[in-house]
Structure 1
């Protein structure tokens, strides 16, 4: 067998005013045709998994571009088209292949392209023809409709949010493709539109863990090959946005539609209990004034880069100062200029520093403050899963009014507690820790925090869906509309 593998992705927030350019892919993850050499990361994992599996089978592997950028606004047209055309050119140059395996995000939008994944895969299909199999792994915060389903043969989404199963899902895609190429199965796919938007963590107390277990229990039985709940990406103003249930079954299109509808309706029934609750900003600051035996964790949800925000607002930091909260930490705050200045003045220096509030209108005002440089680290990183690492660029930790602020030159979420421990922040001793995350930190902090609040802060990624200026989103859709499927009383 001969297969072609590549990666291309980013998650696009259409409410973010700053674009995603080619440099953002270079900064996050970029590998040209040698995925085995890449540092283990969430973006290298699927390609590395497929390469190892294929080589173990004695298959020939043609590698192309592997590129990912952190979430932000729409990708520039030149950036997208150059990467797309690089992959398509490599596919043409490869000659005949038996299969194509692609790791894509599923929520990538570019100037002139509402659905980059569908555009790319349809063009790939035109090159390889109808007999070559195309398998895709997608993030569960994706947009999908029948265009992509018809262009591909196998689609598998992450099952977990927080995302910890990217390599596991890569194995699943490979397994299904291997069985398809061997003639053991003939995948048929179908979607069910759940007419919902929101955030539905799979580890949160409530019905989602059980729903995920039901999906996994159904796989491998009665012709069902794979089930995926695509949660959708709620900060995208697109007609196809929203939650979709995908069923992949063996050789029976009617069964695929029936199973997708069954599980889609099951999710619809639990959607309200499954959605992530948010705490008002003022309430969170009031609770942050209290002292406990362990830190209070405040998730600054509207300014976390994982949903396309810049990660440079100072609303929480300013509120801490105004409330008299001192034994606190704010991490990570993206400010390359402030980091550069800290490196120039050196460790231990005291200076007047302008922090944050630089990148877009939603960034809000900068904070001007007296700062002491506590820690400097060049070209640093944080851990992820296993031996995976995330680049975070240069790091400066400063103390402002008794509050330790971790500044980075590259945009990042907190993926591991070592983001703080490696850079001198003893988080266990803090009264409160504010992190520019949405949910991925929950399990990390659970053993060492007295409480975690998911706070509706000001910012690009406002979690108040009814307040977002949607114009193109197809209506009716929950929670903007009460019961779009008319099933609540059934």
Structure 2
């Protein structure tokens, strides 16, 4: 029987964000499944939209025996601490080393992890696994669409396969694609040629959405290029908030011959570069967005949905800034709701006061973001929740969620979801769990950039993007870059990066 060692370790690192990812953050998961070890990995990783879950399903259909090590993920944030990285990677590598005879390794990774001591977290993970298994055993990994892929990652893996949708509704499908590719490698017992290209400009995440052009067309053409000569081909637009050499978009292809791989990669690179002008769009200030939403709502039959894109906890924000809430209240919005504001202390105070109580809070604003501060106001406590629910929408895909003690607070015509843990508001259930029915609202303001669209676009009259203060600037050129590779443009058609100081040394 074919035996495959498997594991997962995912983090998307915003090196400009206010809060680091600790070991406890990976234990909880923060919108991802909680950390699992050994046989528990195979119990958790089933029927949910996660790469490892898709791989497990396909592997069992193939009759493979799986040797699980560890699965761990945490909400995007600043750097992963040295302690968290070393403890989790040691558990993964030791599990692989003690697995006995294995035929291959599959890892579910993100591709944009930066730690306190390694710029290229996944490059280090793959290097350590490769050292344990030797140069001949196949090593395949799934990656997020936002992966910042490095030459080292390409060198250590036999194949990297990235998601093709944003919102990421195909995470499990990507795990299945990895199983299919691994089956090919095991069957043929041959390595494929690799082609890797890094593109010359950063792409803001708000314009990476694959429901819209130009990304939609790019991925359709990418899929059409796969064939027997090029079994798998990926385009990762990258996560443009990690200040190190390999931040940015990339293309990677695997072919029967080097010519096959190079030709496929070069075609996608040319296609992406031809759309540089299109990776941009209109972003509103908080007051502009709220006023437009209020005007549109007068004749709308469905909610106007606004992305609070710069405080997206899926991109490293702390999900606690107050700019959009202030704009809703300032403009006297009615039938409006926003969330999730991460504020354990305010949630605790609301819980102690009870439903129906009137409480004065310093809500949110505790992450030190320039231009933001706690919002001191008086609220009505409308509903309380223990924070446990299932998120059935296409992004979370049926995950068990734990937002901790949570409350629905109301101020005037505005309702606010307050939670004790962070997870981006990408599922309608994240309103419903505190008693807010999304379809009954005129305006919804979600702390998310794109993932919310998977569940909210079908119910939205109109989608808008607003830029209130937050850790993930919609304009990548506004970030204080220091360590990018020389010459990369810091936004589409923007200025080229020129190093003013040497990059910090990789561990």
**Residues 456, 464 of structure 1: 8 Å contact kept:** no
Q: More displaced, 162-171 or 419-428? A: 419-428
Deviation at 1:184, TM superposition (A): 6.5
- 8 Å Cα contact 2:427/2:456 also seen in 1: no
* Distance in 2 of aligned mates of 1:480 and 1:400: 38
Answer yes or no: is 1:445 the counterpart of 2:456: yes
Which range moved further: 359-368 or 5-14? 359-368
2:194 alignment partner in structure 1: 189
Alignment partner of 2:43 out of 37, 42, 47: 37
Shift of 1:41: 7.4
Q: In structure 1, how many angstroms separate the alpha carbons of the residues matched to 2:433 and 2:470?
A: 28
254 and 191 in structure 1: CA distance in 2 versus 1, 3 angstrom threshold: same
- Which moves more between the two structures, 368-377 or 358-367? 358-367
1:120–1:457: structure 2 CA closer, same or farther, 3 Å change rule?
Answer: same
Written as runs of structure 1 = structure 2, the 5 A alignment for 1:371-410 is 371-381=379-389, 382-385=391-394, 386-410=397-421
CA contact (8 A) 1:137 1:170 kept: yes
- 1:241-300, CA deviations, whole angstroms, 9 ceiling, x for partnerless residues? 1110111112x1232122211211111111321445422334213313424233322110
Q: Please, which runs of 5 or more residues in structure 1 have no aligned partner?
A: 486-490
Return 283-292 or 116-125, whichever deviates more: 283-292
- Secondary structure in 1 matching 2:264: helix
Query: The residue matched to 1:140 in structure 2 has which SS?
Result: coil
Where in structure 2 are the equivalents of 1:46-195 lying within 5 Å? 46-183=51-188, 186-195=191-200
Residue 210 of structure 2: aligned partner? 203
Shift of 1:39: 6.7
Q: For 1:234-273, what aligned pairs fall within 5 Å after superposition?
A: 234-250=240-256, 252-273=257-278
The residue aligned with 1:304 is 312
Alpha carbons of structure 1 residues 249 and 355: separation in structure 2 relative to 1, 3 Å: same
**Residue 470 of structure 1, CA deviation:** 0.5
Q: How far is 1:421 from its partner?
A: 2.7
Equivalents in 1 of 2:46, 2:405: separation in Å? Answer: 20
Query: Does structure 2 conserve the Cα–Cα contact (< 8 Å) formed by 1:72 and 1:305?
Result: yes
Partner Cα separation in structure 2 for residue 39 and residue 88 of structure 1: 19
- Quick one: structure 1 residues 48 and 285, their matched pair in 2 at CA, closer, same or farther if it must change by over 3 Å? closer
Q: Distance in 1 between matches of 2:327 and 2:42?
A: 46
C-alpha distance in 1 between matches for 2:494 and 2:337: 42
Would you say the 8 A contact 2:3–2:64 is kept in 1?
yes
Deviation at 1:479, TM superposition (A): 4.9
The alpha-carbon deviation at position 448 of structure 1 amounts to 3.1
Deviations 1:295-350 (A, max 9, x none): 32211000010100000011111122222223311111111111111111111111
Deviations 1:36-71 (A, max 9, x none): 32175767x333333333333333221101000010
Could you tell me how far 1:174 is from its partner in structure 2?
0.6
Summarize the Cα distance change of 1:449–1:238 in structure 2 as closer, same or farther, 3 Å threshold. Answer: same
Instruction: Quickly say closer, same or farther: Cα 1:344–1:216, change in 2 above 3 A.
Output: same
- Map 1:273-284; keep pairs closer than 5 Å: 273-275=278-280, 277-284=282-289
Identify the range of structure 1 (346-355 vs 72-81) with the bigger mean alpha-carbon deviation.
346-355
Higher mean displacement: 324-333 or 1-10: 324-333
SS at match of 1:478: coil
Q: What SS class does the counterpart of residue 97 from structure 1 fall into?
A: coil
Task: Say which of 336, 356, 372 aligns to 1:348.
Answer: 356
What TM-score, normalized to structure 2? 0.90
Q: Which moved more, 1:319-328 or 1:225-234?
A: 319-328
Q: Secondary structure at the match of 2:231?
A: strand
Match of 1:231 in 2: 237
**Deviation sequence 1:411-439 (CA, Å, 0-9, x none):** 01122112223321133333322111101
Counterpart CA distance in 1 for 2:3 and 2:438 is 50
In structure 1, what is the equivalent of residue 505 of structure 2?
none
Task: Name the CA shift for 1:101/1:326 in 2 (closer, same or farther; >3 Å).
Answer: same
Instruction: Measure how far apart 1:202 and its partner are.
Output: 4.2
Q: Give aligned pairs, total.
A: 482
Matched, 1:458 2:469: yes
Q: Which moved more, 1:212-221 or 1:47-56?
A: 47-56
Note the C-alpha offset of 1:226.
0.9
Task: Give the superposition deviation at 1:192.
Answer: 1.4
- SS at structure 2 position matched to 1:279: coil
Q: Conserved in 2, the CA contact under 8 Å of 1:336 and 1:410? A: yes
Distance between the aligned counterparts of 2:65 and 2:439, measured in 1? 50
Name which of 331, 352, 359 aligns with 2:339. 331
- The structure-2 alpha-carbon separation of the partners of 1:42 and 1:413, relative to structure 1 and needing over 3 Å to count, comes to farther
CA distance 1:453–1:274, change in 2 (3 Å): same
Does 2:421 correspond to 1:413?
no
Assess, with a 3 A threshold, how the Cα gap between structure 1 residues 444 and 480 changes in structure 2: closer, same or farther. Answer: closer
Q: Where does structure 2 lack aligned partners over 5 or more consecutive residues?
A: 497-507
Which of 215, 219, 223 aligns to 2:222? It is: 215
* 1:380 CA displacement: 1.6
Distance in 2 (alpha carbons) for counterparts of 1:484 and 1:367: 37
Matches of 1:484 and 1:254, distance apart in 2: 33
Q: Is the 8 A contact 1:35 1:47 kept in 2?
A: no
Residue in 1 that maps onto 2:10: 9
Residue 447 of structure 1 deviates from its aligned partner by: 3.9
1:473 and 2:481 correspond: no
